[in-house]
Structure 1
Amino acid sequence: MKDEGEKGFADGLAMDAQDRLYITDGEHHSILRRWPDGHFDVVARDARIVWPDGIFATAGHVYVTLGQWNRLPSFNGGKDLREPPYLLMRAPLEATAPVDATRTKK
């Protein structure tokens, strides 16, 4: 096993065909990408990315479910703070700057 360094709290990981690792970053409402040389960049950052967990990478996009687990009653004194709709987000992979996770094509 090799220590690949720190990256913070994650709940989901996925790889693409170019050996890039996609990581959910719930603390910062983000999806990160780790390149084979070890550097990270931000694929998407948006306040609506609430506890991203399930993640899947394709050739052109990363898909992430937003679980809102931190809003469950067990974390909030018995009060359910989850807010529908429960989202699946899609972000393009080749973006050079962070993108709005909810932007859609028409």
Structure 2
Amino acid sequence: MDVTLLLSKLPDLSCERNSYGEDLDIVNKALLGESDKEKKKEIILSWIKRKQPCMLGRLASTGKQNIQLSVYVVDDNDIALGQEHLKTYLQACRLEWK
């Protein structure tokens, strides 16, 4: 099934105020206000370094102790480019990760 069709079936929660905590609200706002994928990765890794409950996640986000963490961003532009683009992009991310 086409991912854009699946996404269109999700409920629109934009009118509701859902919060998972002030720190995540701040990160979400920063992510939604940024278009550059590398900057989005930096925002995510910065949150993980400070707020991730799992110590391994925190260590991995810093690159210390030979623990690695890979972050790949799929954004609205990727989705708008369609299923084939997403498949190609995610496969490239997977190959880079390995």
Q: Same fold (TM over 0.5)?
A: no
TM-score, with normalisation over the residues of structure 1? Answer: 0.27
TM-score, with normalisation over the residues of structure 2? Answer: 0.28
Structure richer in helix, relative to its length? 2
Structure richer in strand, relative to its length? 1
Q: Which has the larger radius of gyration?
A: 2
